[in-house]
């Protein structure tokens, strides 16, 4: 029983050696974050290594054209010489690493004369804008629907949420997006004589955002809602909740104080990578709505074997996913129900 009355055990969430280093919660958290950021270096290294190997294993060269006149062998040789592709692969790898340490991500093969860094930096803001707005929509709607469905299990709300979730998961988002464009762009244009309709493509800080954000958010909202519902159901049945009911606490208090915080662990776990994916771009939404972001340019880079673009975008993504997962782990510390139980 000493376990209950004693200090909360932190060893599970932090590297065990740290627990003894300091009593201060903020202090150990800071050290934790710093260590994790240091761990990003080997992670990014291995990501670069694996991507490098994959790129050079993939059949097809950057200079093969998809139709019509191919480049002559001399031109191909010259291009390979220009970009150092005629060097042994290991040498190319080390050269790339050295350049990355100087924040030089090389020149794009496809867009002659442009640096990978400048290409990414001009495209990324669009992707981030749409991604962040979608994320800010997903959290309240997804979690909210999920909690509601759980509290009112087997009611109409629950079934409607389940139906919506099924729909969102069975129709890939480009289909939903295309159907929405047909409905809210073209048909609305025809119905209102061109006076009121949503734009079918393009990016802008106005109603151009509506359809892309909805298309991007549908599946994550559905998944988050179902996940929250499942996790909330698990939590509701736990006894400390029963105790709270028994004590006669108002539903809202119980929900917010106890249920939500306890059921959020799995939700937060998936929201981290979801954020990372949203912010590094959905190729489908960007292609469908013709948004000049990096999601689409990444897939184009893979299709055209633009190695530096592939590597540069992958490095960016690996940093973001590592940071997102770090944020998730930090969030665990704040959500950890153990803290609540002993207070």
Residues 57-86 interacting with another protein (rule: CB under 8 A)? 57-61, 64-75, 78-79, 81-82
178 binds another protein (CB under 8 A): yes
3 binds another protein (CB under 8 A): yes
Query: Residue 46 or residue 94: which is nearer to another protein going by CB?
Result: 46
Q: How far apart are CA 210 and CA 198, in angstroms?
A: 8
Q: Which of 27, 84, 140, 202 binds another protein (CB under 8 A)?
A: 202
DSSP assigned state of 105:
-
Side-chain half-sphere exposure of 73, counting CA atoms within 13 A? 0
Candidates 23-31, 88-96, 130-138, 331-339; binding stretch for another protein (CB under 8 A): 331-339
* Residue numbers 270-309 binding another protein by CB under 8 A: 270, 273, 276, 287-290, 292-293, 296-299, 302-305
Q: Which of 287, 276, 134 is nearest to 215 (CA)?
A: 134
Query: From the CB of 291, what's the least distance to another protein, in Å?
Result: 8
317 binds another protein (CB under 8 A): yes
Query: From the CB of 328, what's the least distance to another protein, in Å?
Result: 8
Q: Which of 31, 93, 238, 330 binds another protein (CB under 8 A)?
A: 238
3-state helix, strand, coil in the chain (%, to 5): 75, 0, 25
* Residue numbers 106-135 binding another protein by CB under 8 A: 107, 110-114, 119, 122-123
Q: Which of 15, 42, 40, 48 is nearest to 29 (CA)?
A: 15
Candidates 85-93, 97-105, 136-144, 332-340; binding stretch for another protein (CB under 8 A): 332-340
Query: From the CB of 101, what's the least distance to another protein, in Å?
Result: 18
- In terms of C-beta distances under 8 Å and separation of at least 24 residues, what long-range contacts does 93-96 make, across chains too? 93/48, 93/49, 93/52, 96/48, 96/52, 96/311
Q: How far apart are CA 117 and CA 228, in angstroms?
A: 38
Query: Residue 140 or residue 172: which is nearer to another protein going by CB?
Result: 172
C-alpha distances out from residue 300 to 1, 52, 123, 175, 306, Å: 60, 17, 13, 21, 8
Q: How far apart are CA 196 and CA 75, in angstroms?
A: 52
Query: From the CB of 314, what's the least distance to another protein, in Å?
Result: 6
43 binds another protein (CB under 8 A): yes
């Amino acid at each position: 029983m000493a376990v209950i009355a004693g200090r909360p055990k932190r060893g599970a969430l932090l590297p065990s050696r740290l627990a003894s280093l300091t009593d201060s919660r903020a202090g150990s958290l800071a050290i934790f974050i710093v260590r994790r950021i240091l761990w990003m270096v080997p992670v990014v290294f291995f990501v670069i290594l694996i991507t490098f190997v994959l790129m050079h294993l993939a059949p097809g060269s950057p200079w093969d054209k998809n139709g019509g006149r191919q480049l002559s062998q001399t031109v191909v040789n010259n291009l390979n010489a220009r970009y150092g592709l005629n060097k042994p692969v290991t040498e190319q790898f080390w050269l790339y690493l050295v350049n990355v340490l100087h924040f030089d991500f090389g020149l794009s093969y496809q867009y002659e004369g442009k640096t990978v860094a400048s290409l990414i930096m001009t495209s990324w803001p669009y992707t981030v804008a749409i991604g962040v707005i979608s994320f800010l929509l997903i959290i309240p709607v997804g979690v909210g629907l999920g909690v509601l469905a759980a509290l009112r299990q087997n009611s109409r709300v629950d079934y409607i949420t389940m139906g919506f979730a099924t729909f969102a998961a069975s129709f890939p988002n480009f289909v939903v997006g295309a159907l929405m464009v047909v409905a809210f762009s073209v048909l609305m244009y025809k119905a209102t004589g061109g006076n009121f309709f949503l734009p079918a493509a393009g990016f802008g800080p106005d109603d151009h955002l509506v359809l892309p954000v909805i298309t991007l958010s549908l599946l994550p909202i559905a998944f988050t809602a179902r996940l929250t519902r499942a996790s909330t159901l698990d939590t509701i049945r736990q006894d400390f909740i029963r105790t709270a009911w028994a004590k006669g606490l108002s539903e809202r208090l119980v929900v917010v104080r106890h249920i939500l915080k306890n059921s959020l662990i799995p939700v937060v776990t998936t929201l981290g990578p979801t954020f990372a994916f949203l912010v590094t771009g959905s190729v489908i939404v960007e292609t469908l709505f013709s948004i000049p972001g990096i999601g689409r340019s990444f897939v184009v880079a893979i299709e055209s074997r633009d190695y530096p673009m592939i590597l540069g975008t992958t490095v960016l993504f690996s940093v973001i996913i590592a940071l997102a997962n770090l944020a998730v782990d930090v969030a665990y510390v704040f959500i950890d129900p153990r803290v609540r139980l002993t207070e």
